[in-house]
Amino acid sequence: MFTGFLDVLGYSVCGLILFCIVLLILLIRSMSKLKKMNAKYSKFMKDAVSGGNLDSVIDSLIDNDDVMMIKTREMSQQIAALKKTVSYCGQKISIVRYNAFADVGSDQSFSIAVLDERDNGVTITGIYARESSSIYAKPIQEGKSNYALSVEESQAIEKAKKEYRERV
């Protein structure tokens, strides 16, 4: 009878030891998590203004948010100004090379079209002949000119528009 009691006591002690080991493991794990959380909290509070409380951190974040809103507004205005400026820049550009005269080879003559967003710009045409060369420039307004356009100049304008549409 006494030996049965010792057996039960032995099993109980072993169970308690095992239970203590499990609790020790859980304690170590909890301490590790607490240490990580404490490190994150310290990092979060590091930027706190005088005193290091949560209220000062929140106030600091709100102030930073106000500054960022002002900067964002300024950048939006700058982007709008850039978009306006870019709309007047040469965005549609093409070149057409050709032989102006049958006795001259190698496509030495050319017509270049440079247009902005609203199809305003210029065509520049260079005519190459064996004895001389000439260069002409014609203003373009909304894709048309007050001057008669050659076939090649019209092709350069249409090609510039088409390539721009494909790109955008």
How do residues 20-61 score in pLDDT, each as one tens digit? 999 999 999 999 999 999 888 777 767 554 556 677 777 777
pLDDT at res. 100: 87
Give the chain's length.
Answer: 168
Distance from C-alpha of 40 to C-alpha of 4, rounded to nearest angstrom: 54
Model pLDDT for residues 95-132, shown as the tens digit of each residue = 999 998 877 778 889 999 999 999 999 999 999 988 88
- Is the pLDDT assigned to residue 77 strictly greater than 90? yes
Looking at the fold, whether 72 and 101 belong to one and the same domain comes out as no
Range of the domain at 72: 47-86
Specify whether the CB–CB gap between 157 and 143 falls below 8 A: yes
Judge whether 29 lies within some domain: no
Closest CA to 135 of 126, 143, 144: 126
Looking at the fold, whether 120 and 82 belong to one and the same domain comes out as no
Looking at the fold, whether 66 and 103 belong to one and the same domain comes out as no
